Amino acid sequence: MSSRWVVGVCGLSLLAACEGRQSVLDPAGEDAARLAGLFWVMFPAAVVIWICLAALFIYVVRINPVAMKRGWAEALIVGGGILVPTVALAGLLSYSLPLMSLHRAPGDGLTIRVVGEQWWWRVEYWPEGAETPIISANEMRLPSDERVDLVLTSHEVIHSFWVPALGGKTDMFPGRETSMSLRALEPGVYRGQCTEFCGASHALMAFEVEVMEPAAFDAWLEHAASPAETPVDAAAERGQAVFQREGCGACHTVRGTPAVGEVGPDLTHVGARHSLGAGILPNDPEAFAHWVRDTGEIKPAVAMPAYDHLAETELADLSLYLEGLQ
């Protein structure tokens, strides 16, 4: 393969990375569209500056490698080193600063509070006027075409909240609340990722965001507020017994059951989520069994111990119980 081909293929694969559910260049919300617009102004500007400097460099080194007259050299320093950067940076700054106002624009009523944990996301929905939140974890659902307020904080270390297809990035600090707002436009499933190094499993701290039509979102939120479904078959019932016997309820809540722990993610509707383990495993019975048996192998240094002493049948029953928490 000639080098021209290699460059072409690499270039095309880079362009392919611009699409998809975790790309700033494929915006699905008002905020992300603004940021993508900023990129498409900054990027060509940077390319033009780079081409001019490269051309100047080639001219003085290869085409005309003679000492420059003093007056020309001084003009180059003052013009290229002071005037042009000042004008270019002032122009870009005055274009980009007003774009930031949207990041803090007031929402339309719904507030979602997200707490960064090692290495998962505690998610609380506060509809307008609510006195208690609807608690979930490791995924976020948003109504389309509505601006939603996000209140962000952290439990132990600094994390950073970012859903590239929907908007900008905001750090999450222990003991402090930061805020931003988002207006998602296109229903779909997008991916967010923690973008501040927060320990051994930082790279495994992701989440899905589902943008829903407002009516579908309201129906989903109503269901999310309801207690867990009772097991429908014998295997799931045995699974619930394993869950209770092993003390899972000391760390996890399954609303409507004796499990009221708040150390780990709320599991009331865990079977209906897009992923397990904060965006790293699919949501199916095999993945539940894999996670419960091998937590530390899947997510190094995670707080949940591996329940590798459970028999295969117990793991299978437990998985069916958890998957049934729809």
Give contact residues for ligand CUA (rule: CB under 6 A).
Answer: 116, 119, 159, 194, 196-198, 202, 205
Nearer to ligand CUA, 158 or 241 (CB): 158
Separation of alpha carbons 213 and 157, rounded Å:
35
Separation of alpha carbons 66 and 62, rounded Å:
10
Separation of alpha carbons 113 and 140, rounded Å:
10
Nearer to ligand CUA, 21 or 202 (CB): 202
In the three-class reduction of DSSP (H, G, I as helix; E, B as strand; rest coil), residue 117 is classed as strand
Separation of alpha carbons 123 and 249, rounded Å:
19
Angstrom CA distances, 250 to 114, 156, 218, stand at: 22, 20, 31
Residue 158 CB, nearest approach to ligand CUA (Å): 8
Residue 42 CB, nearest approach to ligand CUA (Å): 26
Nearer to ligand CUA, 40 or 197 (CB): 197
Nearer to ligand CUA, 6 or 203 (CB): 203
Residue 196 CB, nearest approach to ligand CUA (Å): 5
**Is residue 220 within 8 Å of 312, Cβ to Cβ?**
no
Nearer to ligand CUA, 196 or 314 (CB): 196
Residue 194 CB, nearest approach to ligand CUA (Å): 3
Nearer to ligand CUA, 202 or 274 (CB): 202
Q: Render 265-280 in DSSP notation, one character per residue.
A: ---TTGGGSSEETTTT
Separation of alpha carbons 326 and 323, rounded Å:
7
Residue 155 CB, nearest approach to ligand CUA (Å): 10
Nearer to ligand CUA, 57 or 197 (CB): 197
**Is residue 291 within 8 Å of 285, Cβ to Cβ?**
no
CA atoms within 13 Å, Cβ hemisphere of 18 = 9
Residue 121 CB, nearest approach to ligand CUA (Å): 9
Residue 201 CB, nearest approach to ligand CUA (Å): 8
Give, for 44, the enclosing helix (H) or strand (E). helix 30-58
- Phi and psi (nearest 5°) for 314? -65, -40
User: Biggest alpha carbon distance in the chain?
Assistant: 91
**Is residue 251 within 8 Å of 304, Cβ to Cβ?**
yes
**The token pair that represents 262 in the structure block:** 């708040």
Residue 159 CB, nearest approach to ligand CUA (Å): 3
Nearer to ligand CUA, 171 or 246 (CB): 171
**The token pair that represents 56 in the structure block:** 């100047």
